[in-house]
A and B are shown apart, each in its own frame.
Chain A
Amino acid sequence: MLETLTQYETEIWQAIAETFVMVGVSILAAVIIGLPVGTLLFLCRKGNLLENQFVFSIVNLLVNIIRSFPFLLLVVFLIPFTRLMIGTAIGTAAATVPLSIIAIAHYSRLVEQSLLDVPKGVIEAAISMGASVKDVVFKFIYVEARSGLVLGLTTSIISFISYSTIMGVVGGGGIGDFAIRYGYQQFKTDLMMYVIIIMIILVQLIQFIGTSIARIIDKR
């Protein structure tokens, strides 16, 4: 095993680095944009603080549309947009665009669901104390929903890893692309197996960390 791996050491490290960039940017997009979008969905829902049928319907539809694309088609569909954003549609940087879009849609939905679990009474108590919407969100809702938010992000990160494996089609590279090019197309089945093992370990590790953090911060 070690022999095959050392033979391809540079390529493997390169692929791992590409995966980290793609998944890392996806996580950032999920947290920086997906979290607010999910919160907006929650707040605009009927009966909630900023109830707004119009905004809710539009954002909800957008999230659904993005999520219903087969991911490969989304990548192709977004090529003009990607070119606009990055200047090129090829390469690891370009690959982060469709990944970020799906990351935002994916995580915002999970955020919305976690926030829906916050007891209505807690929100009422906050309002009765004179909290503004911003205070209700940051001092109450996020605090109460925090373990759900972490678990959702964990699930999302694992999906992002999976999505990132097909970015080879636009030259995004990454560990999935490596497994296909060297392992599958050059008939090095053992190499493909090792990559799969690496990915299994990675996913296990992420799930373990996510679940542990969620458990520690959950005082309910």
Chain B
Amino acid sequence: MLKLNRVTKNYAEFQAVKSVSLKINQGEIYGIIGASGAGKSTLLRIMNLLEVPDEGEVEVNGQTLTSMSGKQLRQARKSIGMIFQHFNLVANKTVYENVVVALELADFPKNERRNRVLECLQFVGLESMMDKYPAQLSGGQKQRVAIARALATNPQVLLCDEPTSALDPGTTADILGVLENINKSLGVTIVVVSHEMEVIKSICHTVTIMSDGEIYDTVSCKPKGMQRKENHPQYFVEELTKDVELDHA
């Protein structure tokens, strides 16, 4: 459903992505992990042509993005959602306005926009925050709005660049839960870039490890279903037991 064929990205002399090929299956949660500067974000941004590769092809939903006109590309991007580490909401728009703009861009029928926005906000549990501005929300809530915005146009793929790296552990777990739910209940293919092992381990079906602009390895993994209990107090006890010896007071 998403294919990269020998994509290369250069910044002047520096090669950030070196002839990378990969294939992501429909309905998968695909993780990309690696050290800072490995080229993960660049690779992800190549997937919706936010970065235009110097060489290679990008294929999403059977369409070759790299051979499209500007207009076709804009159209194709409406079925590729994206969320970011710093949320990138419009601070001067309310939660509602932030989501509805995605529908305006997609020429979604005017009289159905409101219902669609409410539906998406309900999905992320924020319908009551509709008239608030991003500055009035917590980090986790902002990311939920960004997710609602990305989902509004019913994308087939959701690209996530460090979606939880600006969040605390509890909120990280919530957001990962939302992503997992999107994948399960809506069948959306998800690509997650992260430098945090916990994030990748807890939700990804396939994981690619990047290093110096290249794919080091790709493995598939099954979550053992013990992760997301982070909000339960017992989680903290278990986490502590992993690394330190406990003595109950």
Chain A residues engaging chain B, CB cutoff 8 angstroms: 119, 121-122, 124-125, 127-132, 135, 139-140, 143-144, 146-147, 217-220
Contact = CB atoms under 8 A, between A and B. Distances in A.
Contacts of A128: 48, 50, 77, 80-82, 159
A131 B92 contact: no
Contact of A217 (B92, B134, B135): B92
Nearest to B136: A219
Contacts of B104: 139
Nearest to A122: B88
23 contacts: A119-B88, A121-B87, A122-B88, A124-B84, A127-B77, A128-B48, A128-B77, A128-B80, A128-B82, A129-B77, A129-B78, A129-B82, A129-B101, A129-B150, A130-B74, A130-B106, A135-B105, A140-B101, A143-B92, A143-B93, A144-B92, A217-B92, A219-B93
B228 interface: no
Nearest to A128: B82
B26 interface: no
Given A129-B149, A130-B74, 18 more contacts: A121-B88, A122-B88, A124-B50, A125-B88, A125-B89, A129-B101, A130-B77, A130-B78, A130-B105, A135-B105, A140-B90, A144-B91, A144-B92, A217-B92, A219-B92, A219-B93, A219-B133, A220-B92
A131 B105 contact: yes
A139 B133 contact: no
Nearest to A121: B88
The A contact surface, by secondary structure, is helix
Given A139-B105, A220-B135, A130 B90 contact: no
Interface in B155-181: 159
B9 to A, nearest CB: 15
B75 interface: yes
A140 to B, nearest CB: 6
A33 to B, nearest CB: 25
A-B CB proximity, top 8 nearest: A130-B77, A121-B88, A125-B88, A220-B91, A128-B82, A219-B133, A130-B74, A130-B78
Contacts of A121: 84, 86-88
B139 to A, nearest CB: 14
B84 A125 contact: yes
Contacts of B90: 122, 140, 143-144
Nearest to B74: A130
B188 interface: no
Q: Among A127, A217, A219, find the residue whose CB has the most chain B CB atoms closer than 10 A.
A: A219
A124 B82 CA distance: 10
A139 B84 contact: no
A147 B150 CA distance: 27
A20 to B, nearest CB: 31
Interface string B107-139: 000000000000000000000000001110000
Nearest to A218: B92
B102 interface: yes
B77 A146 contact: no
A130 B84 CA distance: 16
A155 B56 CA distance: 50
Nearest to A147: B92
Contacts of B146: 125
B101 to A, nearest CB: 6
A139 B102 CA distance: 10
A138 to B, nearest CB: 11
A186 B48 CA distance: 72
A40 B19 CA distance: 36
Contacts of A129: 77-78, 82, 101-102, 105-106, 149-150, 153
